[in-house]
Amino acid sequence: MEFIMKRKSVVVLFTLSIHALLLSGCWDRTEVNDLAIITAAGLDLTENDQLELSVKMYLTTPSSPQQMGQSGPSGGGAGLSVVRSAVGLTMADAVSKLQQVITRKIFWGQAEVFIFGERLAEAGLVEPMDFLTRHPAPRERANVFVSKGSTAKEVLELNPPIERSVADALREMAKAQTGLNITMKELAQMMAGRAKAAVLPLLEINPKQGDQEAFPFINGTAVLKNGKMIAHMDYNVTRGIMWLRNEIKGGTITISPQSGNGLISLLVLRSHTELVPHIHGDDWSMTVRIEATDDIIENTTDLDLSNPKHIERLQAELEADINRRVKKALNQAQKELNADIFQFADAFYRKYPKEWAQNKDRWDDIFPAVRVSLQTDLRVRKPGLTGKNLFKPEQR
């Protein structure tokens, strides 16, 4: 009898457990089909100084055959990318009004690109950045850009021919280091940092030519101070900025050696930049140590690069070329803009916290006068299997 009672108790407990599992369910679930998945967002300043928020959304399972045809390849998971906009007094207001005109719930989890229009960047990014860093939904690892010559909305409306969406195209270009690669977190840190200066990659639209669709590309740098864009820097100066900020992780350098007729291209394998600050009384100085390792990937000159003397001369000219780029970036940042986009202030603070505390309010006066000494050490690791260009006719 006792055995039967125990058996019944086990059966009852097992049944209740099954019912409890079934009853729990997913009562608060949100289906993918109920979401408007944001892949990229753009912010512009309207003519009456309001904020226009534009989003590129990926909508799964379009509701009509016509939409399915627009989305590209059919099949499971096929969807449609569309751009929707709303205008508000603030970022939060614009998001609220955007939700009013979208039937699906806005989902920011896949938003990997944020673009600021040029006019908004000039007016200031402090207010929209406050929302983007406070709200839990936007991703801190999302890439950020400034659009030059066109609105952020116009960039979002492009459909690059290679990648699935404009968000994928911009993210891959940033990864390839064709220019600066700045995330939302890094921008927030620069804007809130001791120097109060920041840099962002600058976007331009390559117009449609024949059968080639218009597409965005990174071309230069936007310089911000106290949250507002104050200047642009071109591609050549941007490379100098990247060397100083220790952001060169790869790439190709092409130079025309003085002793050879032609060009030599080198592949940067590794590089590292170190900032070493010094304070002696009222004299503030910075030593910039740049080290890099390169391989020669093309030689169109008549130089025999298997000769160690030619390699030494090439290394010296390569160092001089990088120094010219770095000095140009330094001159613009220190003398023309007075914007510490290289984070010198943080380097001084780390090494000299007491001196920094006494002089932090004078940084705008100190930074332009900081003497910078460059110590560049570039090594060519492999000149190639042949020292000469085998396809170039020899001089007679």
DSSP states of 46-96 = -TTS-EEEEEEEEEES-SSHHHHHHTSS-STT-EEEEEEEEEESSHHHHHH
pLDDT in tens, 83-105: 999 999 999 999 999 999 888 88
Strand duo 371-382 + 283-299: pairing: parallel
Distance from CA of residue 242 to its chain's centroid?
12
Predicted confidence (pLDDT) at residue 71 exceeds the cutoff of 90: no
Q: How confident is the model at residue 72 (pLDDT cuts 50, 70, 90)?
A: very low
**Eight-class DSSP state of 33:** G
d(CA 117, CA 54): 11
d(CA 260, CA 55): 52
d(CA 190, CA 368): 19
pLDDT at 383: 76
Residue pair 80/71 in contact (Cβ under 8 Å)? The answer is yes
pLDDT in tens, 224-277: 999 999 999 999 899 999 999 999 988 888 989 887 788 999 999 999 999 999
**Surface-to-core class of residue 162, CB atoms within 10 Å of its CB (0-12 exposed, 13-18 middle, 19+ buried):** exposed
pLDDT in tens, 188-225: 999 999 999 999 999 999 888 777 788 899 999 999 99
Q: How confident is the model at residue 390 (pLDDT cuts 50, 70, 90)?
A: low
Q: What is the pTM of this model?
A: 0.84
pLDDT in tens, 314-353: 999 999 999 999 999 999 999 999 999 999 999 999 999 9
Q: Dihedral through CA 118, CA 120, CA 125, CA 130, nearest 10?
A: -130
If residue 272 lies in a helix (H) or strand (E), which one and from where to where? strand 264-280
Q: What SS3 class is residue 152?
A: helix
d(CA 138, CA 185): 11
Domains of the chain: 32-233 (no CATH), 236-389 (3.30.300.210)
Q: How confident is the model at residue 66 (pLDDT cuts 50, 70, 90)?
A: very low
Residue pair 334/285 in contact (Cβ under 8 Å)? The answer is no
pLDDT in tens, 11-52: 656 666 665 555 555 555 556 677 888 999 999 999 999 999
**Surface-to-core class of residue 313, CB atoms within 10 Å of its CB (0-12 exposed, 13-18 middle, 19+ buried):** middle
